[in-house]
A and B are shown apart, each in its own frame.
Chain A
């Protein structure tokens, strides 16, 4: 529903620039020459990666390899950490999100994010949590109620919460909270959804639900997921990128990465020889 109505967006200057690209199905992200730092320490070293439209791209790698940092650079959340900075090109439909004068809030509205630990707003009800994205970004659609309900349906939470939309969001179980957070992210109708180890705090059943959800969501959104769980990458991802020490080692269709990777280090990692 969102993809064929790009004119609905509230910032007209952008829509005009991207109408042509939006006419296609989805929206991809192209990362070129990305360097990211925490203080003096460089954690991403000249990385290139393509996140293709309407696919799930998984980023795997050992702890500290910079997986999370990469996705946090894509929606410019990396720089929120004191002392952190990033440079390079991150293009969404050909527009560089790091070019001077870009409105960061607009970037983040187009590139949503789901975090490792479910983080619903504790002072808000279930309904208000999902509506938060629309309200916080200053868009006040007339069909707010509809869009909230729609987002809850999309994440399969509707049947579970429809009778208690005014109950606090933190009263839900961990898995429900994470689906609530996904609903909150997609209610603003972003083009790309970044997921930073979204299942690492969840039990296997809740994890499975989220994985199924990703499969449905990729028809409408472009998804990049960071995971330390290789089975998960194998289950959900169309393509998988393997990272090591801040560099991209290999990015290929998931089956190829897991069965016949080009790089020796990738093979060692996916077969469990290190990491």
Chain B
């Protein structure tokens, strides 16, 4: 038996390997620093404010005395973003399905794609201003109302839902479409029974990104929902929301109110995290069947 001496790894390649690896690790740490700092300060300043009454009482709005809790803001945010989600996610998925399954690379589909891209780049305050002019000043169904905020948030979420859903739908292998079509399935059934279930986890993730984005937006709400402190479940009233509450609180010279902003910010992040976990669990369960 002959043994072949394998050449040793050259010093140059060893050094290159080490340099590149450490660069990647350094980049990773660099990216992590702001993320950890944000979470650290949120928890440090926010957790202390989560006293017993924080989630069960409404902000008092008084400069002196007890600033109260954030109950009305949590409810308002959930309702407004909930309404926006219920409307935009189905519409967004429908548009994405049109683009991938019917329009493909046709002229009309490309025009839609172009406008969706443009909409993604529109600054969020523009949606607020648009609804302010179109619905608030025009006094459609009252002045500042919760549902107008939902419309503004929805407009903001729609392109995100469409774009993320389209990307995921394009990932569904065409062999599955062919397999289903070759069985004699009409196109709508192929979409409903094969394509959507296959893409569901990805569509869910994309929609959640849109929800998280909508949850955190302040600008579209300022001119549409305005501000309130009282608890209301009526989307036809002015409502309180978490981002607007934070926005108002953080500019206060009084420390107790600034602390309330920290608490509300932590609650907002926690809320998005919880929604994320729930949606993932749902997606996983539905993927099993």
**Chain A neighbourhood of B197, CB < 8 A:** 123
Determine if A115 and B179 form an interchain contact, defined as CB atoms under 8 angstroms apart.
Answer: yes
Chain A: interface residue total (CB-CB under 8 A): 29
Residues of B within 8 A of A80 (CB): 177-178, 181
- Smallest CB separation, A166 vs chain B (Å): 10
A105 and B185 in contact, given A82-B105, A123-B198, A136-B190 (Cβ under 8 angstroms): yes
Interface size bracket, B side: 20 to 34
The answer to whether the Cβ of A113 comes within 8 Å of any Cβ in the partner chain is yes
A161 vs B116: C-alpha distance when bound (angstroms): 47
Chain B residues whose CB sits within 8 angstroms of the CB of A123 once the complex forms: 194, 197-198, 200, 287, 289
Give the A-B contact count at a CB cut-off of 8 A: 77
Asked if B94 CB lies within 8 Å of chain A CBs, one says no
The dominant DSSP class at the B interface is helix
In the complex, what distance in Å separates the CA atom of A120 from the CA atom of B200?
17
Out of B105, B175, B184, B200, which one reaches A136, CB within 8 Å? Answer: B184
| A121 with B180, Cβ < 8 A, contacts A82-B105, A132-B193 known | yes
Cα A35 to Cα B287 with chains together (Å)? 42
Chain B residue with the shortest CB-CB distance to A125: B289
Contacts of A135 in B (CB 8 A): 193
B34 at the interface (CB under 8 A from A): no
The winner among B105, B185, B289 for most chain A CB atoms within 10 A is B185
Taking CB atoms, residues of chain B closer than 8 Å to A121 are: 176, 179-180, 194, 198
CB distance from A77 to the nearest CB of B (A): 6
A127 to chain B, nearest CB (A): 12
Cβ-based interface call for B21 (8 A): no
Cβ-defined contact, A133 with B178, below 8 A: no
Q: Report the Cα distance A117→B174, complex, angstroms.
A: 12
Q: Judging by beta carbons under 8 Å apart, are A77 and B182 in contact?
A: yes
Most chain B beta-carbon contacts within 10 A, residue among A106, A117, A123, A135: A123
- Which residues between 108 and 149 of chain A lie within 8 Å of chain B, taking CB atoms? 108-110, 112-113, 115, 117, 119-123, 132-133, 135-138
**Residues A137 and B183 in contact in the complex (CB < 8 Å), given A77-B178, A82-B104, A119-B178:** yes
Question: Which residues from chain A contact B176 at a C-beta distance below 8 Å?
Answer: 119, 121-122
- Cβ–Cβ contact B180 & A136, under 8 A: yes
Of all A-B residue pairs in the complex, the 10 with the closest CB atoms, nearest first, are A109-B184, A136-B185, A108-B184, A113-B182, A133-B183, A119-B175, A123-B197, A137-B184, A119-B179, A105-B184
Interface residues of B (CB under 8 A from A): 104-105, 173, 175-186, 189-190, 193-194, 197-198, 200, 287, 289
Binding site for B on A (CB under 8 A): 75, 77, 80, 82, 105-110, 112-113, 115, 117, 119-123, 132-133, 135-138, 181, 184-185, 188
| Interchain Cβ contacts under 8 Å between A and B, 19 examples | A77-B182, A105-B186, A106-B184, A108-B182, A108-B184, A109-B183, A112-B183, A117-B175, A119-B175, A121-B179, A121-B198, A123-B198, A123-B200, A123-B287, A135-B193, A136-B185, A136-B194, A137-B183, A181-B179
